[in-house]
Amino acid sequence: MLNICHKNNRVNAYFLIKRCLVVLFIFTLVYQAKAQMKDSKITTPVTTWNADWIGCPGVNLKEYGVYHLRKTFELAAKPGTFVVHVSGDQRYRLFVNGTPVCFGPARGDLRNWNYETIDIAPWLKVGKNVLAAQLWHMGGGAPAAQVSAQTGFILQGNGDNEQLVNTGSTWRIIKNEGYFAEPFPASRLASYIVGSCDSVIFKNYPLNWQNPDYDDKNWLTPVSEAKARYYTEKRILKPRAIPMMEETPEPITGIARVQGMDQATIVKAFDSNGTVYIPANTTATILFDRETLTTAYPEITFSQGSDSKVKITYAESLFDSKGLKGNRNEIAGKSIKGYYDVFMPDGGTGRLFRPLWTRTFRYLQFDITTGSQPLVLDRLQSVFTAYPFKENAVFTSNDKSLTDIWTASWRTARLCANETYMDCPYYEQLQYVGDTRIQALISLYVSGDDRLMRNAIEQFHQSQIPDGLTMDAYPAGGGKFIPPFSLFWISMLHDYSRYRDDYPFVDRYLVPMEAILQWFQHRIDPRTGMLGQLPFWNFVDWSFTFKGIPPGGMDGNSAILSLQYVYTLQQAAQLYAQAGQAQKAAQYSKLALQIRQAVYRNCYDAGKKLLADSPEKRSFSQHANIWSILTDCIPGKDQPATMQQIIADRSLIGTSLYYRFYYARALKKAGMGNLYISTLQPWKDMLAQGFSTFPETLEPNVRSDCHAWSASPCYDFLSTICGIDTDAPGFNKVLIAPNPGSLTDISGTMPHPKGQIKVSYKKQPDGGYLAKVELPPNLTGRFVAKGKVIALKAGIQTFTFYK
């Protein structure tokens, strides 16, 4: 049995100290969160770096290691501003007089290594001051998205008065001998994950190393990287292009299961003061279910527990004896599998464990073994972290299930966005082009923040090889290519041009865009006029039938790949036309027409009135026919009938959650957008199965429970149901064409560069809808419903329409 009530003076004094520590800890976190959200006002890039990249002497700077650095300096007066530029390889966290103020760098590559700029004046004081940094390198256990030259840290003051803190021989450094990599056992789950976790022995940890009163006299003088000419630099430093990540404290709650101790007693103690007391010589397991998935830094404050071991396992869901997840809310007969951290207490008071990198979890399991001293878990909390998107859009309707889908979709999109967009937060954490196109549109519609989209477009361009292709995911080590994803990069550029009036940004990518178009053009099969054999992995969709690669995807003459190329050529022609390059616009429009006609000629089955996946006509999919609508390969008058077959013909190879985005585009283009609501049953089913975010694929889903390409309802509720879209380049005019379907009461708000667009539709007794549309100042457009066109102006307007 757990002994909760020790009524001796020593324990009472201990809990008093603990509560004081907790108050101080909360104060520090609040300050930290404010610091992270503060964007620097310094926008001029650094042209000359006088500071040195520094590292630890006597170690292999390409292997795993965690290091601490300190710089002590005196100030005669508290400065009004004190701006520094800072970066690290692979990661760093900066402290000023003991307070965490900045972390990074934002992920990039060696030719585009980011540095952060921050004004640290608010944390400085008269007299002695200390800058301190935690620096780490994951070595061979680094995540796939992490690029590196070698372990290093650099910090430079912005002006003459700030140069005294420049990194060099006046700094001090030490390797933290308490840290070891905790490799992720690939046998426990599907491989290719986020990287090694942390194992910390607190007896070897330099406690309070970041505080001003810490004695660093026995620390080492750092080594500096050799100064190099600009063309041989290990890293080319560039200013961070995105804001700092959000950091918001949130409690760890929901004890779901306890083994080795009395669960009722544990729950009562935890609910009363947040403290869990583990007696000496005990083996116990505590499983937490926070009910929704999160991406966060767990922060465990603990005391005593000498010779104890705590293992923290993180999981999106639990597994049954057959290795299946089933209903995500159910725990009976299930166990946890996932990556984990380990820490070993030293017996002291008020210790803090926080992993070096963010963790993803709904379920959190503590496996605890104590020795001769009890262990006290003083406080369990996590610090939510993600790109600081704000939910500036609103969607409501008379159907509550749509509200639930909206909530889970936006949560999915948020958890899949950090310093880059990510396909999933639990596994790869990679920015894939195919995923990112959908994520970026969600961002524009729900948040209005386009900075991460711009960053993604630029990073994919940075991955481009001389042949023309972009990598499938970037930043990333090595080189992998999915040719259709290079086409989606052009689609992203086209999307940006439609929703942002930013021609200079788009213009600089027209040349690399053409390199991609020509890569595909050189591979047209002269016999068929369709795309011929393409190298690399020609992934389309996780269809259960063709499992990623469609017929013709490797050997050539795939209708799906050929029509995606047509779709991209059509978008590229529009971009060239907007740029005033009429000749190129005509050239690529003509090529699109030729390939489109070739696909129809080779793949159209007159009996089925559908496009086959290849000229052999042995396979038919929703995918090929979706593209036939989106590219007008099927004449406009026949598109509703084709779409009806896509919906009704169960023999067709079906789309996964990913390609449901393009399914919805085809539905809308065919004039059948009012059926969109009827396509949402898979999302409703997932919610009924206990999902709090939407997964990579439908059940049986054995990998990611959170995959941003499945969050497309967030976009379609505004774009399709509310019908809000752009009607001119740069979103300079708005088109509103609602598809209420079976709904009777709808309202939506979405951000626009000029303000907010607001719509509401209420069904009337005669079957029509009373519409109220509000446009921001200086924005006009048109409202279209059932052939009726109404001019829209800035301000509020009301009218009736019929679907």
pLDDT attached to residue 182 = 86
Q: Looking at residue 233, what is its pLDDT?
A: 77
149 burial (CB, 10 Å; 0-12 / 13-18 / 19+) is middle
- Rounded Cα distance between 419 and 617, Å, is 44
Length of the chain (residues): 803
pLDDT, tens digit (0-9, with 9 covering 90-100), for 693-722: 999 998 886 689 999 999 999 999 999 999
At 216, the pLDDT band (50, 70, 90 cuts) reads very high
pLDDT score at 478: 77
Give the pLDDT mean for 350-374.
Answer: 97
Chain CA centroid to CA 446, Å: 15
Domains and CATH numbers, the chain: 9-16+247-386 (2.60.120.260), 39-185+201-243 (2.60.120.260)
Q: Chain-centre distance of CA 559, in angstroms?
A: 32
Residue 29 has pLDDT above 60, yes or no: no
Mean pLDDT to the nearest integer, 775-782? 98
Residue 43: predicted pLDDT: 59
> pLDDT tens digits, residue range 653-692?
999 999 999 999 999 999 999 999 999 999 999 999 999 9
Residue 12 confidence (pLDDT) above 80: no
pLDDT of residue 703: 85
* pLDDT of amino acid 700: 80
Q: Give the model's confidence band at 10: pLDDT under 50 very low, under 70 low, under 90 confident, else very high.
A: very low
Q: In this structure, what DSSP letter does residue 443 have?
A: H
d(CA 81, CA 155): 16
Is the model's pLDDT at 193 over the cut of 60?
yes
Share of the chain above pLDDT 70, in %: 93
- CA–CA gap between residue 619 and residue 566 (Å, rounded): 21
pTM for the whole structure: 0.94
Alpha helices in 329-432 (DSSP H): 400-415
Q: Average per-residue pLDDT in the chain? A: 92
Give the pLDDT of residue 65. Answer: 98
> pLDDT-derived band of residue 44, with 50, 70 and 90 as boundaries?
confident
In this structure, what token pair is assigned to residue 396? Answer: 């409501």
The percent of residues above 90 in pLDDT, for the chain, comes to 87
Identify the three-state secondary structure at position 765.
Answer: coil
Helix (H) or strand (E) segment spanning residue 377: strand 375-386
Contact 454, 421 (CB under 8 A): no
Handedness of CA 713, 715, 719, 722 (dihedral sign): positive
* pLDDT for the residue 228: 61
**How crowded is residue 199: how many other Cβ atoms within 10 Å of its Cβ?**
18
pLDDT over threshold 60, residue 32? no
Between CA 638 and CA 670 the distance in angstroms is 9
How would you class 492 by CB atoms within 10 Å of its CB: exposed for 0-12, middle for 13-18, buried for 19 or more? Answer: buried
Question: Does residue 403 have a pLDDT over 70?
Answer: yes
Cis upstream peptide for 700 (omega within 30°): yes
Binning pLDDT at 50, 70 and 90, where does residue 230 land? low
Q: Give the torsion through C-alpha atoms of 237, 45, 70, 234, to 10 deg.
A: 10
Q: What is the pLDDT of residue 479?
A: 80
pLDDT at 69: 98
Measure the CA–CA gap between 763 and 746, rounded to whole angstroms. Answer: 9
Helix (H, G, I), strand (E, B) or coil at 117: strand
Model confidence at 796, pLDDT cuts 50, 70, 90, reads: very high
Q: Which residue has the higher pLDDT, 271 or 762?
A: 762
Q: Where are the beta strands (DSSP E) in 82-185?
A: 83-89, 91-96, 99-104, 113-119, 127-137, 152-157, 172-175, 179-182
Q: Rg of the chain over CA atoms, in angstroms?
A: 28
